[in-house]
Amino acid sequence: MKDRLVTLIGGGGFIGRYVAQELLAAGARVRIAQRDPREALFLKPLGGLGQTQFIAADVRKPETIARAVAGADAVVNLAGSFSDMDAVMVRGARAVAEAAASAGVANLVHVSAIGADPESPAAYGRAKAAGEAAVSAAFPTAAILRPATVFGREDAFVNRFAAMIARFPVIPVLRAGARFQPVYVADVAQTVKAALSAPAAAGRTLELGGPDVLTMGALIRWIAGAVGRDPAILELPDMAGALIARTGGEELALQTSRPSHTVPLSHARPATGAFTQPPRHSTSCTLKVVPSAASWQAFITASEPRSQHGVVVQTCSRYFPFGLSWNIV
């Protein structure tokens, strides 16, 4: 990655800032492109002199995206929206892919979501699927990443529930028994970096999930214990979740859904080091290559498909990761 210019569309966002940190540490030059680049200036001290660039860009305005990707070696699209889904995640995703193709960009990584499905009952999932299709049509070698619910210090998921638990004596929970696999944001960022530098990632769809299969109810109770509260948990029926999905609450509806075709792990196995369980503020991610891992030989040694969907590999990262190791699971 050293000296390569990578444009991060939405680089100042939650996932974007971690991707920027990974790329800067690897010696890449990073161009942060977002509607108000001043909001991303906090990233500048992470790089050396001249290593970071900032440019105003909006995926809803293709001409601004063309300027943002001009001269770039690689592009990562992290833009998403719950309020303007078609403009940002479908037409905007197409604009990024078309601009990257026209500019002769070598690598494109499109960050989607685990719930992307043209048949999804949630508009968010359908929009993500349509965006993936638009990207693949315009830039066939793009790597598409589908992270499950992403957590980290600045997330809008765990922090939201922690704030609710701290304020209210009763917490409503949609589909408390539904299982999902949250993934740590730094592991997602490392996967983005890996996808940019691994030729075998071209044209692949990768689903990312954490090592722990959790129920929504169990997670809420864990958060409650972490913040020193013991609220009453009100489990809402599936009918309520379906109603929320149809009336605009796609985020909550998706966050209680288990990632499809992701092989669950019962515990995290460290990639390196002497600890037997991941330390606090750490996690691992599972990475599934679809539909075959055969071409990943150069990236993952001795890899072979372990299921009809592909091979699952696991990495364990500390809160501030010092490297990335892959283990066949």
Domain count, the chain: 1
Pull the structure tokens for residue 225. Answer: 């214990």
Q: Mean pLDDT highest for which of 28-32, 152-156, 208-212, 315-319?
A: 28-32
Instruction: Give the span between the Cα atoms of 146 and 195, in whole angstroms.
Output: 13
Q: Which residues contact 182 (CB under 8 A, 6 or more apart)?
A: 148, 149, 150, 151, 157, 209, 210, 212, 214, 219, 283
Looking at the domain assignment, is residue 240 inside a domain?
no
Looking at the domain assignment, is residue 309 inside a domain?
no
Looking at the domain assignment, is residue 247 inside a domain?
no
Instruction: Give the span between the Cα atoms of 317 and 210, in whole angstroms.
Output: 11
DSSP-derived 3-state class of residue 285 = strand
DSSP of 33-86: EES-GGGGGGGGGGS-TT-EEEEE--TTSHHHHHHHHTT-SEEEE----SSSHI
Looking at the domain assignment, is residue 287 inside a domain?
no
Pull the structure tokens for residue 186. Answer: 């730094």
Pull the structure tokens for residue 125. Answer: 């999932």
* CATH number for the domain harbouring residue 122: 3.40.50.720
Looking at the domain assignment, is residue 157 inside a domain?
no
Looking at the domain assignment, is residue 315 inside a domain?
no
Q: What is the pLDDT of residues 44-64, one digit of tens each?
A: 999 999 999 999 999 999 999
The distance from CA 296 to its chain's CA centroid, rounded to whole angstroms, is 21
Lowest mean pLDDT among 136-145, 188-197, 232-241, 266-275: 266-275
Instruction: Give the span between the Cα atoms of 93 and 59, in whole angstroms.
Output: 7
Q: Which domain holds residue 49?
A: 5-151+183-209
DSSP label at residue 287:
E
Q: What pLDDT is stored for residue 263 in this prediction?
A: 26
Looking at the domain assignment, is residue 199 inside a domain?
yes
